A and B are shown apart, each in its own frame.
Chain A
Amino acid sequence: MTWDWSVVWEAFPYLYRGAIVTIQATILGFAIALILGLCFALIRQSPNRIVSASVTEIVEFIRSTPLLLQVFFVYFVGPQFGLNISAWVAGVGVLGIHYAAFCSECYRAGIENVEQGQWEACTALNLSPIRSWRVIILPQAIPPIVPSLGNYLISMFKDTPVLAAIAILEMLQQAKNFGSDNYRYLEVITMSGFFYLVFSLIASAIVQAVSYWLNRRYHLL
């Protein structure tokens, strides 16, 4: 079988549509992961043992079960409990929640790395807890963990084909469909691989730039 450029051009619109879906799912999912992950991490710091322990258990549970299982559970089992949501909402939501659990561990490491003395200075200056978190602790906790958060962005991006399992036409599914319709897989699968590679490289460069900028911005280098 030889490489056929005409197939490439023919497949391009399909893959393009799929790529848009993949990128949308990644960006939305990662936004959920970043915000929800921070919420998990902050709630875990709660002085109330019951609250912090339950969030710890939830995070542990999410981290210890496969993403595909979670997607199936929400999409196929959810309706039996009255959870009627579209495949898109279920898919992106689960992707976000799954990675939120991982991101929360990152945030936790960042928070625990901030010296105890910073908290003591906040108390001595009588800053409110919210102000302490927002202006003193998080600006020191987050810049150092941006590279690890970036790793999860790339992992999540590479996990988006899981969405195909609930019939979301992301890029790899589009490629596969095109391949089975035309009996040619070589070009489309290669093109998908190439796209994943390029996007990962771009994302990684952006993460590095953000990390550098944040560390400079907060003079933590």
Chain B
Amino acid sequence: MSDSISRIGNVMALKPSNLPVNPELSPAKPFVRFENVSKRYGTYTVLDNLNLDIARNEKVSIIGPSGSGKTTVLRMLMTLERINDGIIWVDDEPLTHMQKNGKMVPATNAHMRRVRGKIGMVFQHFNLFPHMTALQNCMEAPISVLGLSKQEAEARAAELLDMVGLGDKKKHYPIQLSGGQKQRVAIARALAMRPKVMLFDEVTSALDPELVGEVLNVIRKLGAEHDLTMLMVTHQMGFAKEFSDRVCFFYGGKITEQGPPDQLFGNPQNERTRQFLSAVLEAG
């Protein structure tokens, strides 16, 4: 029930994102906002003047061919990449910039650290700490960043590992876990920081096919049981269709088409989207 209510809220929050936006005029304030964001490597433009609003608790999938800039969107939001132009806002605060003497200046590391505390990320290659057990992986940041006591952190980490179905693997090291298990630990580790936004960067791409399901099930469960804004780059079209409130198709550093999954998959308007979808579907 609460899920359906939040979905209605999300639909209301949707608006054409190709228009230049002004936070003061926005009818429903988005939780994450990319405002005229560009990213270039030398002369190569990865993202070109991106405008994207994501509502609180909205689940957005990003699809598109490789090199279209979709992973870069997540990496910029996680501050793993600096942007060249524009501003990214999170929860009404600029992430990439800060106010100084009434002007917007590029954010200091301290400012970025504070704001990005609201964001968690799960990576394609897990990036678990190999020298720590599953439990320790989930305890390190809550203790050293959030200041939790060891007992609190351990209880919470254990709870999260139970939630992702790894209650019996707490003392295992990453090397002793399968890919799917590693990725579930990585999800628990990110959740331990109590993020409001979760970023999933091709989280099933490095997994054997039979392990994809267990990871997607955890993400489904998160979507259903937690108030989380989720942004995922994925090649799992079936999952994107079933799980997301909105799907964005990226091509050449721009959002070529976006909309509710039924519309984007069922009746794509853009020629490039059609080509991409038919190629993906053909590949099975």
Which B residues are in CB contact (< 8 Å) with A136? 129, 140
Which chain B residues numbered 109 to 163 have a C-beta less than 8 Å away from chain A? 113, 116-117, 119-121, 123, 125-131, 140-141, 144-145
**How many whole Å from A166's CB to the nearest CB in chain B?**
43
Binds B, one of A118-126, A145-153, A178-186: A118-126
Render A88-129 as a binary contact track against B, CB cut-off 8 A, 1 for contact: 000000000000000000000000000101101101111110
Which chain B residues numbered 157 to 197 have a C-beta less than 8 Å away from chain A? 173, 175, 189-190, 193
Q: CA A127 – CA B79 in complex, angstroms?
A: 13
B80 in the interface (beta carbon within 8 A): yes
Q: Contact partner of A126 among B80, B131, B145, B173, CB < 8 A?
A: B145
Q: CA A118 – CA B80 in complex, angstroms?
A: 12
Q: CA A118 – CA B144 in complex, angstroms?
A: 17
Residues of B within 8 A of A (CB): 78-80, 113, 116-117, 119-121, 123, 125-131, 140-141, 144-145, 173, 175, 189-190, 193
A160 in the interface (beta carbon within 8 A): no
A220 in the interface (beta carbon within 8 A): yes
User: Given A117-B125, A120-B123, are A125 and B130 also a contact pair (CB < 8 Å)?
Assistant: no
Residues of A within 8 A of B (CB): 115, 117-118, 120-121, 123-128, 131, 135-136, 139-140, 218-220
Which A residues are in CB contact (< 8 Å) with B128? 121
Is A219 touching B189 in the complex (CB atoms < 8 A)? Answer: no
Is B145 touching A220 in the complex (CB atoms < 8 A)? Answer: no
Q: Contact partner of A135 among B79, B144, B193, CB < 8 A?
A: B144
Is B127 touching A126 in the complex (CB atoms < 8 A)? Answer: no
Is A127 touching B78 in the complex (CB atoms < 8 A)? Answer: no
Q: Name 8 extra pairs, CB < 8 A, besides A124-B78, A125-B190, A127-B144.
A: A120-B78, A124-B121, A125-B145, A126-B117, A128-B113, A136-B129, A218-B130, A219-B173
Which A residues are in CB contact (< 8 Å) with B79? 123
List 11 A-B pairs, Cβ < 8 Å: A115-B127, A117-B123, A117-B126, A120-B121, A121-B128, A123-B78, A123-B79, A123-B116, A124-B120, A125-B141, A128-B144
**How many whole Å from A134's CB to the nearest CB in chain B?**
10
Give the nearest-CB partner of B129 in chain A. A136
Is A117 touching B141 in the complex (CB atoms < 8 A)? Answer: no
